[in-house]
Chain A
Amino acid sequence: MTPPLLQIEHLGFSHAPGMSPLFEDVDLSVEKGDFILIRGASGTGKSTLLRLVCRLAPYTRGRIFFKGEPLEKIPPVELRSMVTYVAQIPSMASGSVRHNLLFPFSFAVNRARKEPSERTLLEMLELFFLKDVGLEREASTLSIGQQQRLALMRAILLEPEMLLLDEPTSALDAESASMVLRIVERLNREEHRTVVMVTHSAYLPEGERSRTYLLENAKLRLL
C-alpha cells in the first residue's frame, strides 16, 4: 500500500521548553492530489505547522513522514525540492522580476529542471494579472500584493509535488484574491498538485478532494 504523501502524527510545538504548547497532538494525513485548507485565528500556529513540514523550524514532539519516510531522514534540500513553502510575507531578491522567477533554477537541486521559456514567463505574468509589470522591472519596487503573486508564481514554476501556502491572498484585493485561488484550485484539479493552505479568511475550496480543518485551542480538527 502506498503511504500518504504527508503524514503528521501527534505533533506538538512550543516556542521554548516549558512554555505552553502552541499546538499539540496534531494528526493529519494528506494524499497526493488533496487540497487541505487549515483555518484558524491569527497566532494559533497555522504558519508554524507549515514551517515544521518543510523543516524551517525543528519539532520536538510527534512525527512527520513524507512518502512514508521520517522527515529527518530526507535530506532537507531534497525535501524542499518536493515540498515548497510560500510565506505570507513575500521576500524578493534584489534584481528584476525575471531574476526573481529564475534564480531558484540556479540552485544545485533544481539544475536538472528545465528553466521556463520567455513565453511561459509572460503567460504566467498574464495569468496572475501582472502583464503590465513585465519581466524587467525591479521586483522590490512592486506592491506587496504583486510580490505575493510573484512569490506564488515562482513556487509554481518549480512544479513541486506539494505546495504549502501561507495566507497567499492576505495582501490582495478581493478580485485578485479570487483569481489566485482559482489558479491554485485549477493546479490541484487539473495537475493533481497537492495543496496545503492556511488562511484565516472564510474561503472554502470546492471539489471532492478538499478538506477543511480548524486549528483552535492548540488542537486541529476536521470541519
Chain B
Amino acid sequence: MTPQIVEISFWQLLLGLTFILIAQAVSFVHHLGLNRDITIGTVRTFLQLFLMGYALTFIFGARNLWFTLGIFVVMAVSASFIVRGRVKEKEVPYILPTFLTMFVSYFVTAVFVSGLIVGVSPWWEPRYFLPLGGMVIGNSMSALAIALERLFREMRQQRDLIETRLCLGANYREASAEIFRNAISAGMIPSINAMMGVGLVFIPGMMAGQILAGADPLQAIRYQIIIMLMLVGSTAITSIVTMLIVRKRCFGSGEELRLTP
C-alpha cells in the first residue's frame, strides 16, 4: 500500500518559523547584520511559494497548451534577465543570443524528456512539462552565468596574449581556444559534480519531494536519473552554443578583440 502524504497544517507551518527565530537570534548576538534580510527572505518564501502553489493549481487545472507555453516563455525570459544581472558586461551584446539559445535548448530538452522519455500525453502536460522545464532552466542558467562571466573576465585579463596570438596569425577561435574551453568547463563542473555526489552525499530535492509525497523510492530514483542526465545535457548544449555565439561577438569584423581592459 502506498503511504499517504502527511498534511502540514497552517499552525505546523508557523512552527517551522522556530528555525528562523534561531537564525535571527544568531545574527543579532553576533552582529551579523542579517536580521533584515532573513525577515525579507522569510516573507518572500511564504509569499512566492503560496502564489506559485495557487498558480500551479490553476495552470494544472486549465490544461491549455498556449497557456503552458506562455508560462515556459516567461520562465526562459526571467532566466535570461537573471543571467544579465549576474554577468555585468556592457561592450558585447550577448543577451539576445543567450535568450534564444536558452529558449530553444530548454524547450527541446523539456519536450524530449516530457514527451519521449517520461512519455506523458499530451507532451505539454503542465504537471510534467513545467517542473521539468523549470529544473532545466534553473540549472543551466547558473552554468551559463558562470561560463559567460568567466569568458568575459579571462578575455579581458588575457587581452595582450590574445592580441599576440592574433598578430602571429591565429584566427579568433585559435586565439581564444583555451579561454573558451576553461569557461565552458567552469560552467559544467557543478552539474558533473552533482552527478558524482548524488545518492552518496545528498538526496536531490526532487527525489526527496517525491518520497515525502509517498512515491516509491525506486520510481523516484528513475525520475532523478532522468533529471540528472537531462541537466548535464541541456547545460552542455546551452553553454556550448551560447558561448560559440558570444565568443564571436567579442571580436569585431577585423577579428580584433572588442573588449577593452
What residues make up the interface of A, taking CB atoms closer than 8 Å to B? 54-58, 71-72, 76-77, 80-81, 84-87, 89-93, 103-104, 106-110, 151, 154-155, 158
Across the interface, A84 reaches (CB within 8 A) one of B168, B174, B253, namely B168
Question: Is B216 on the interface with A (CB-CB < 8 A)?
Answer: no
List, in ascending order, chain B residues with CB within 8 A of A77's CB.
169-171, 255
Complex contact B252–A85 (CB within 8 A): no
Complex Cα–Cα for A20 and B169 (A):
33
Q: Shortest beta-carbon distance, A77 to chain B, in Å?
A: 5
Given known contacts A58-B252, A76-B255, is B169 in contact with A109 (CB within 8 Å)?
yes
Q: Shortest beta-carbon distance, A58 to chain B, in Å?
A: 6
Complex contact A55–B255 (CB within 8 A): yes
Complex contact B167–A107 (CB within 8 A): no
Instruction: Give 8 A-B contacts (CB < 8 Å), ordered by A residue.
Output: A77-B255, A80-B166, A91-B161, A104-B165, A107-B171, A109-B169, A154-B168, A155-B167
Q: Shortest beta-carbon distance, B167 to chain A, in Å?
A: 5
List, in ascending order, chain B residues with CB within 8 A of A93's CB.
161, 164-165
Q: Shortest beta-carbon distance, A93 to chain B, in Å?
A: 6
List, in ascending order, chain B residues with CB within 8 A of A151's CB.
164
Given known contacts A93-B161, A108-B174, is B253 in contact with A87 (CB within 8 Å)?
no
Q: Shortest beta-carbon distance, B198 to chain A, in Å?
A: 35
Which of chain A's residues has its CB closest to B161's CB?
Answer: A91
Question: Is B91 on the interface with A (CB-CB < 8 A)?
Answer: no
Complex contact B256–A55 (CB within 8 A): yes
Q: Which of B164, B255, B257 has the most CB of A within 10 A?
A: B164
Given known contacts A89-B160, A93-B161, is B168 in contact with A55 (CB within 8 Å)?
no
Question: Is B254 on the interface with A (CB-CB < 8 A)?
Answer: yes
Q: Shortest beta-carbon distance, A193 to chain B, in Å?
A: 16
List, in ascending order, chain B residues with CB within 8 A of A85's CB.
167
Q: Shortest beta-carbon distance, B144 to chain A, in Å?
A: 27
Across the interface, B168 reaches (CB within 8 A) one of A57, A72, A92, A107, namely A107
Which of chain B's residues has its CB closest to A82's CB?
Answer: B169
Complex contact B255–A110 (CB within 8 A): no
List, in ascending order, chain B residues with CB within 8 A of A86's CB.
167
Q: Shortest beta-carbon distance, A74 to chain B, in Å?
A: 10
Interface residues on B, range: 10 to 19
Complex contact A104–B163 (CB within 8 A): no
Which of chain B's residues has its CB closest to A113's CB?
Answer: B169
Complex contact A158–B169 (CB within 8 A): yes
Given known contacts A80-B168, A80-B169, A104-B169, is B160 in contact with A87 (CB within 8 Å)?
yes
Complex Cα–Cα for A155 and B256 (A):
19
Complex contact A56–B256 (CB within 8 A): yes
Complex Cα–Cα for A76 and B168 (A):
11
Q: Shortest beta-carbon distance, B212 to chain A, in Å?
A: 50
Q: Ordered nearest first, which 4 A-B pairs have the shortest CB separation?
A: A55-B254, A104-B168, A91-B160, A76-B255
Complex contact A58–B254 (CB within 8 A): yes
Q: Shortest beta-carbon distance, B53 to chain A, in Å?
A: 52
Q: Which of A76, A103, A108, A154 has the most CB of B within 10 A?
A: A76
List, in ascending order, chain A residues with CB within 8 A of B167's CB.
54, 56, 80, 84-87, 155
List, in ascending order, chain A residues with CB within 8 A of B257's CB.
56
Complex Cα–Cα for A71 and B163 (A):
18
Q: Shortest beta-carbon distance, B17 to chain A, in Å?
A: 53
Q: Which of A56, A103, A108 has the most CB of B within 10 A?
A: A56
Q: Which of A54, A77, A93, A103 has the most CB of B within 10 A?
A: A77
Complex contact B161–A58 (CB within 8 A): no
Complex Cα–Cα for A84 and B257 (A):
17
